[in-house]
Amino acid sequence: MTHAKACEKTYYAPAFENGDSWKQLLAISIYLLYMRKSLWTESQRVHAGILFREYSDIKKTYYLSIRLGLIYHQCKHKDTALTRPAK
């Protein structure tokens, strides 16, 4: 962007196959990371596929957090839920 501005040219951000730029992808993907995969819309599935392909660490973290949430959702007692992640 800086180079294009210095040369007085128009800067065009690289885009993914769905037309989103990096900033748009990250801004839109914030909301899908808070939901379970089964609740995603079709467009959110496309965004998640691109996001997880580009950022594998986000993919790992997302699935770990979902699994942790399931532990607390499935356990009826707080003490049992606290010991499960240790196992």
Residues 48 and 70 in one domain: no
Domain range for 42: 1-54
What's the pLDDT at 17?
81
Residues 68 and 44 in one domain: no
Question: How many other C-beta atoms are found inside a 10 Å radius of the C-beta of residue 48?
Answer: 20
Q: Mean pLDDT, consecutive 10-residue segments, the chain of 87 residues? A: 78 78 86 89 91 92 87 69 63
Q: What is the pTM of this model?
A: 0.70
- For the chain, the domain total comes to 2
Residues 75 and 46 in one domain: no
What's the pLDDT at 12?
74
Task: Name 17's Cβ contacts closer than 8 Å, sequence gap at least 6.
Answer: 50
